[in-house]
Structure 1
């Protein structure tokens, strides 16, 4: 039985898949201007993509912006993510600098959850996980393949390794080249959901993979990413469309 992971007022791993919306502003003004339209749409979670933020490598600027965003969001849960260039992000950083940014996020005490990319040095990843959890920050560990869809066995292996590294939630996003690739992702999701001791988040990206963004409850993915304004990954669906689609596919 998978534990339910609580993030502020939501629970990952039970009921409908929750809906996250990205904020990708480059400046504090851009970031804060995105808040009111997002709050009006009532997502479950906001993902702040700090790799878009101009001040991301300045800890003081990052923490100040994070506190302003936290205050503006009210009770909406916040996931903070630095997506590296190699996994589809906006900014190339050396590994040491990536970990410094993540540590600054934890020290800033503004986020409810932190995205930690799986494929860095093992000891550094595990140390970051421990630091986050000691600060009561939920760790969503991730891996993104923007070129292809690995085999189902490989997807399950990667998700399993995230749980082994201490992740609270394991996340995998892949790029399909065919309908068969989409089925591979869904099959792997079902296997991981049934076999792992933590909730999982999965998606097949692009237009071909959109079905995976609405089928999470049936196959075991606990969170889907939608848009209010700018998208942060290919294939994201507008929140106003995604919410009723998730409701239509609910399991009784």
Structure 2
């Protein structure tokens, strides 16, 4: 079977504005479960970026079912499929390219915000499911990034640097308070990927992998949109299309 990255291996996460670098360590098995436990205990739920995008695709198709909407439907679906392909390239990328490709995904995802705003006003069940999933994903990503920084941050380089006074010292609250919300999102995506099977290891595995590292963890657990329930009420919410903003 393919192996996880070695516990303790450093993970370098540049900030969104490029002014800082967060140096974290890859969690061990206990820490991986601890991070998920702390995040889900706060009510956060992970779906994955691809899963949310595929639900967005399904909702848009429900929103524009008529033949006269074919041109608009193609325009919107092409944009969503473009973001999906960018997410998949990010998931398959080597570590050296991952931050650049993540920022590319983030920018492309933001281009879908007007479409997400339209769906938030829609009474369609598939749209309501999408909105709830995107809200869940945004909450999970931010909280996971905060939990990862609290547990695994080793030092901060660049603007307003921080070094622990002794090995293994947890970052003080002032350091965590100085991390921008967008940076917690980036930290979450990188750490979820670092905690998963790498693309190269998956290809060399004796047993087939269920997907690339980011797709199986930070990106998606499934490539199918959730079936829309016929009688259950879905919670509403508001967030960006893929929960990365």
On whether the aligned pair clears a TM of 0.5, the verdict is: no
Structure having greater relative contact order (Cα 8 Å, sep ≥ 6):
2
Structure number with bigger Rg: 2
Could you say which structure has the higher strand fraction? 1
Task: State the TM-score, normalized to the length of structure 2.
Answer: 0.23
